[in-house]
């Protein structure tokens, strides 16, 4: 597969700074639209949807030529199949670690490379980069392939301009964040492969101090009936109709779950509403044609549980609801399978946050006084990183409330990609806010 393309394309005429310029000599950087758009076109065209997650090796092959050209040494780490195997998942779980070492302290930059499947309702091609003015549409544009393009833009600018870095960047391109049983970053963290402090790009374009987030798990439910001709249904059991009591029971449980409030501060766009636990019937499948009774009805249920809740108790409550709703009915069988699980993230604060806030202000123009601390009922694989002993996690990214992440026509903007690139380079640069570095400044 072709790599991310000619690194010279569109850069000589647009440029950044004169070679040898120190960070502090320029308040703004100019990043190449042409190079960013070329990266986005290739990144979005490579299908890394999870499920099934069979595009990771192809995506790593796409990244490696660019990483090689920037002087990164690449290492491939595959998660053993026994850890991630689940219904609907297939393909090698190949994670890519790209390191460039000079002996400076390490900053690990984390990206998950998977996206949710495109889904319905798109008015633009989901596996392509469609530019409309400043907007860039495509599955993964904001979550989070656009963040990869921003990081590449930052690293190219540092190289082109000879900007000295305070940290050796180690890039982690990881699998199965979108609800997988065993996310790649979990495996890397548990194997001791995450170095230095961690900057996650699984966040938003906002003046935010991350307070943590909810946990999440998916439960796959299969209600079995018995196939028969719909015109002569004697002896048949319609699996969809047998599941109707289950759907009603889930609606009642959903109402109960959503009364459970979390003490995590809610995002600003919630207004005065609190964060609450959530239950979602995320997918339903059954039947094939009008002349047959469906023999199986399948539901995918997502549960977002607050840090104050217990994971085992949340699973048990949901399984009990499913079991009791189906027992005694016409169904001929019932299966439940626990699929993906993301652990909640506790307080990710630490000594590197003040400098990262200053870098976000430099890139996005956020006034320092605008930063607020808040959590989210969305989830992150960073909970597993904390469980492995890495408590401080910096957070940035491209998500905005109107970005349609996980929905049709997901998008980001060129302006936000450039702002994130600017913030990233500021944070890595040796002479940016060196007084805020916890380590001894170079």
178: Cα separation from own chain's centroid: 6
Q: What is the pLDDT of residue 180?
A: 80
Q: What is the pLDDT of residue 29?
A: 65
Catalytic annotation present for 177: yes
Closest to 23 in 3D by CA, of 162, 169, 167, 170: 162
Question: How many alpha carbons lie under 13 Å from residue 298 in its C-beta half-sphere?
Answer: 11
302: Cα separation from own chain's centroid: 16
End-to-end CA distance of the chain: 39
Q: What is the pLDDT of residue 1?
A: 41
Reading the chain (442 residues) residue by residue, the pLDDT tens digits are 445 544 433 333 233 333 344 555 444 567 999 999 999 999 999 999 999 999 999 999 999 999 999 999 999 999 999 999 988 899 999 999 999 999 999 999 999 999 999 999 999 999 999 999 999 999 999 999 999 999 999 999 999 888 999 999 999 999 999 978 899 999 999 999 999 999 999 999 999 999 999 999 999 999 999 999 999 999 999 999 999 999 999 999 999 999 999 999 999 989 999 999 999 999 999 999 999 999 999 999 999 999 999 999 999 999 999 999 999 999 999 999 999 899 999 999 999 999 999 999 999 999 999 999 999 999 999 999 999 999 999 999 999 999 999 999 999 999 999 999 999 999 999 999 989 999 865 5
Cα–Cα distances (Å) from 254 to 250, 259, 281, 305, in that order, read 6, 9, 9, 12
Q: What is the pLDDT of residue 165?
A: 95
Domains and CATH numbers, the chain: 11-212+344-436 (3.40.630.10), 215-342 (3.30.70.360)
> Which of 39, 66, 176, 177 is labelled catalytic?
177
Write the DSSP symbol of residue 435.
Answer: G
Q: What is the pLDDT of residue 22?
A: 57
**What is the chain's alpha carbon radius of gyration, rounded to the nearest angstrom?**
23
Q: What is the pLDDT of residue 359?
A: 97
Catalytic annotation present for 6: no
Q: What is the pLDDT of residue 385?
A: 96
| Contact in structure between 196 and 362 (CB atoms under 8 Å) | no
| Contact in structure between 122 and 408 (CB atoms under 8 Å) | yes
Q: What is the pLDDT of residue 179?
A: 79
CA–CA separation, 179 and 251 (whole Å): 22
> Which of 114, 160, 218, 298 is labelled catalytic?
114
Q: How many residues does the chain have?
A: 442
Tokens of 383: 């909970």
CA–CA separation, 38 and 129 (whole Å): 9
Spatial neighbors of 232 by CB under 8 A, at least 6 apart, are none
């Amino acid at each position: 597969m072709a790599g991310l393309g000619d690194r010279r394309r569109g850069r000589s005429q647009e440029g950044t700074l004169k070679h040898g310029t120190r960070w502090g000599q320029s308040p703004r950087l100019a990043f190449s639209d042409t190079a960013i758009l070329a990266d986005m076109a290739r990144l979005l065209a490579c299908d890394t949807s999870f499920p099934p997650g069979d595009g990771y090796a192809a995506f790593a092959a796409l990244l490696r030529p660019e990483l090689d050209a920037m002087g990164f040494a690449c290492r491939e780490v595959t998660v053993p199949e026994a850890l991630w195997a689940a219904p609907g998942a297939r393909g090698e779980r190949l994670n890519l670690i790209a390191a460039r070492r000079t002996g400076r302290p390490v900053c690990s930059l984390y990206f998950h490379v998977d996206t949710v499947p495109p889904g319905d309702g798109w008015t633009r091609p989901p596996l392509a980069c469609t530019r409309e003015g400043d907007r860039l549409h495509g599955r993964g544009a904001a979550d989070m392939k656009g963040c990869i393009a921003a990081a590449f833009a930052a690293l190219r600018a540092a190289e082109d301009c000879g900007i000295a870095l305070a940290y050796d960047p180690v890039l982690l391109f990881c699998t199965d964040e979108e609800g997988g049983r065993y996310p790649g970053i979990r495996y890397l963290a548990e194997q001791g492969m995450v170095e230095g402090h961690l900057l996650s790009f699984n966040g938003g374009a906002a003046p935010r101090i991350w307070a943590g987030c909810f946990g999440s798990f998916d439960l796959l439910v299969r209600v079995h009936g018995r196939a028969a001709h719909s015109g002569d249904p004697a002896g048949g059991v319609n699996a969809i109709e047998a599941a109707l009591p289950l759907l009603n029971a889930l609606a009642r449980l959903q109402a109960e779950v959503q009364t459970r409030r979390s003490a995590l501060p809610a995002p600003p766009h919630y207004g005065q509403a609190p964060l609450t636990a959530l239950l979602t019937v995320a997918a339903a499948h059954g039947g094939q044609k009008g002349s047959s009774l469906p023999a199986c009805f399948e539901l995918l249920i997502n549960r977002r549980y607050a840090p104050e809740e217990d994971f085992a108790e949340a699973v048990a409550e949901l399984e009990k609801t499913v079991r009791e709703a189906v027992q005694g009915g016409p169904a001929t069988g019932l299966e439940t399978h626990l699929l993906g699980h993301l652990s909640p993230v506790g307080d990710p604060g630490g000594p590197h946050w003040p400098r990262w806030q200053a870098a976000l202000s430099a890139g996005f123009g956020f006034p320092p006084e605008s930063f607020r601390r808040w959590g989210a009922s969305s989830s992150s694989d960073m909970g597993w990183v904390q469980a492995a002993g890495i408590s401080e996690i910096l957070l940035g990214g491209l998500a905005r409330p109107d970005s349609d992440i996980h929905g049709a026509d997901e998008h980001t903007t060129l302006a936000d990609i450039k702002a994130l690139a600017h913030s990233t380079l500021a944070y890595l640069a040796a002479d940016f806010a060196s007084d805020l570095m916890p380590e001894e400044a170079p």
